[in-house]
Every structure is written in C-alpha cells, then in structure tokens.
Amino acid sequence: MATGKLLRQLIKSGIEGNAEAFRVASEEVIKEERQKQHHLLANDLERLLYGRPREIGQSPGRSLEKAPVDRERNLALLDLREPVRRLEDAVLSDETRSAVDEVLQEHHHKERLASYGLRAADRLLFYGPPGCGKTLTAEVIASELGLPLAIVRVDAVVSSYLGETAANLRRVFDFAAANAAVVLFDEFDALAKERADEAEHGELRRVVNAVLQMMDAYIGRSVLIAATNHESILDLAVWRRFEEVLLFEPPNLDQLRRLLALKLRGVRREFEVEDAAVTTLFKNMTHADVERVLRRAIKDMVLLGKEFLALRHLETAARRERPRRLRKQGK
C-alpha cells in the first residue's frame, strides 16, 4: 500500500480539484506499487488514471512521428504505447524464453553483428491460443529494448475502398522504417490469409501479396512482430518471411506455479502455490484465465474484509469463471 504521505497528497489534491497535483501523486502511487511488484494493481490504477496504458505522446523525452491515419476515414492505423512490463512479468516456456533472450541479445549487440554484415532478427511471428502472452511478450521486448510499442490496428488498416488497404499497409511499413519501435501486427491472419482461399476475392489476395512484398523489402530500425491464433490459415509463403517463430501455449504445471507466485506476490495467503489443491483449480487454463480468477479471488478477499487469501476464495472465483471458459471452448 502507498505511504501515508502519498495518500495524504492524493486526497488533498482530489478535494482541492488540483488535477495536476492529483496526477503527480497518482503516478507516484503507481510507481511505488510497481516497485513492490504489484503489477496487477499498478496496471489497474494506470488504466483508471489514463483510461488505458499510457500513450507515447504523453511521455516526456521521446520524439516519435505521429501515427499514420487511414485517409478515407481518418482512423489511426497504429496505437502507440509506452511499454511497462519487463521480462520477469512473463512466464514463458523454456524454448520461447530462450528465443526471446536470443532476439534481445542480438539487438543489444547490433553493431557487432553489423560489422560482420549481419542483422539482428527483426521479423518475428508469435502464434498460439488467446491469453498466453503474445501481446505481453511484444510489450516485454519493447521495454527491454527501450522502444515504444506500436500496435497495428487491423480494423483500421483493412478498408473497403479498393487499393486503400495496401496504401494503409504502406503507411504502416513506412512508419516502421522511419522510427524505432516494436511494431505488433495483432490478428495478423486477417491480413495474411491463405492466398488459395477461394472464398476470398481478388482484393484480399492483393493485400496478402502486398504484405509479403513489404515484409521482404523492409529494412529499418523497428522490430516487426506478427501475432496470430489462427496459424493454420496463414499462407505458407508467410512463414518463410519470419526469422523467429515463437509458440505461446497455456502454462504447464511448473509454469503455472511460477505464474501463481508472480501474480500473488505481495498478497498474504493461507496456502502455498505448490499445493495440489491450488494448482488443480487452474488446470487447462490460459495465463489470462488464471489472472482473471486471481483478480476475482483477491476482490472477494478484500470485500469480505479478510487479510489473507484463502483456498476457498480461489475455489469460488474459479467456479464463477467456469461458464465463460466452457463458452470459449464451445461446450
């Protein structure tokens, strides 16, 4: 919990209606909670304060071109964000973690590689089911490299106007080349579907070709990451374009224990995360599911006025999560 001094500042500025002092005090609270590794709370507070994780333009000392827009509808093609979470915030399989480490190493020693005519890997493909850390890992790579995160808004890029989709893609790739950022193409499958898909008309085929050409021609300071949870529909030619392909899967038992320890850091509890009675509650859940159950359980604990998180809070929360998971699995 934030120190008394900070809380006093926070309440005082709130009562006085001093927006600037309130913002400063709130940011201090968030910083403090993050230092204590209370990332869930810090993220929630940040969302409350900014509406969503902080945008790049608002952070001092970084100059970045404005995000390009779709001409027809004036929609931003990219969401620019200041990455917050670090490597220790992601629980990954050994293979995925070492691939991430390798990519980071290559970028940390870019110049040395360049002196041998080599480039650090800058085209990565992340695949796997929802909620297992693809977007999180893109954020982690951005923060470890000290770069902003630019998330491509596929809904804005894909235009119903003939030719406009390819023009939007051009703008995104131009932005990536002109700036240093981690550019995440979320829902990449929507852009790069199997070219032979008969149901799709010629326009989509042209889009796929445009993406492939731009990927090939891309030279720049940004790291391009494509993420998908429909990897089977990706065009084969797309796979070849990526230097690293990383799989994100639901946690195994060891990863689940690490995830529980991470997300419950700083929460007083009556159980050990290794207890089988605890881990079985989370069987077959994705990381995001686990996080949601924990958040629910912690809320229950707080609302019931308890100081310790108990197994029964987890059980109730897991039970309440069940209908959503069954619906997701189509059962």
Ligand X SMILES: Nc1ncnc2c1ncn2[C@@H]1O[C@H](COP(=O)(O)OP(=O)(O)OP(=O)(O)O)[C@@H](O)[C@H]1O
Which of 13, 26, 135, 286 is close enough to bind Mg ion by CB under 5 A?
A: 135
**CB of residue 238 to ligand X, shortest distance in Å:** 17
Contact 289, 252 (CB under 8 A): no
**CB of residue 152 to ligand X, shortest distance in Å:** 13
Q: Which amino acid is at 243?
A: E
For ligand X, the closer CB: 214 or 285:
285
Of these partners, ligand X, Mg ion, none, which one is at the site of residue 183 (CB under 5 to 8 Å by kind)? none
User: How many C-beta atoms surround the C-beta of residue 252 within 10 A?
Assistant: 9
How many residues of this chain interact with Mg ion, rule: CB under 5 A? 2
DSSP state of 282: G
Distance CA 154, CA 191 (A): 8
Of the candidates 43, 18, 21, 19, the one whose C-alpha atom is nearest the C-alpha of residue 30 is 43
> Please, how many CA atoms are within 13 Å of residue 178, restricted to the half-sphere of its CB?
12
For ligand X, the closer CB: 135 or 179:
135
SS3 246: strand
**CB of residue 299 to ligand X, shortest distance in Å:** 16
Q: Which residue is nearest to ligand X (CB)?
A: 133
Of these partners, Mg ion, ligand X, none, which one is at the site of residue 34 (CB under 5 to 8 Å by kind)? none
Site for Mg ion in 16-35 (CB under 5 A): none
For ligand X, the closer CB: 91 or 210:
91
**CB of residue 34 to Mg ion, shortest distance in Å:** 22
For Mg ion, the closer CB: 26 or 135:
135
Select the span of 39-47, 59-67, 129-137, 301-309 touching Mg ion (CB under 5 A): 129-137
Helix 287-303 with 253-263: angle, nearest 10 deg:
40
Alpha helices, H only, the chain: 4-16, 19-35, 39-50, 94-108, 110-115, 134-145, 154-157, 164-178, 202-217, 236-240, 253-263, 276-279, 287-303, 311-328
**CB of residue 284 to ligand X, shortest distance in Å:** 15
**CB of residue 148 to ligand X, shortest distance in Å:** 17
Q: In Å, how far from its chain's centre is CA 172?
A: 19
**Does 137 contact Mg ion by CB under 5 A?**
no
Of these partners, Mg ion, ligand X, none, which one is at the site of residue 180 (CB under 5 to 8 Å by kind)? none
**Does 286 contact Mg ion by CB under 5 A?**
no
SS3 241: coil
- Two tokens at 231? 């990897």
For ligand X, the closer CB: 28 or 291:
291
Binding residues (CB under 6 A) for ligand X: these are 90-92, 130-136, 186, 229, 248, 259, 287-288, 291
- Two tokens at 132? 């297992």
- Two tokens at 9? 């500042």
**CB of residue 151 to Mg ion, shortest distance in Å:** 9
Residue numbers at the binding site for Mg ion (CB under 5 A): 134-135
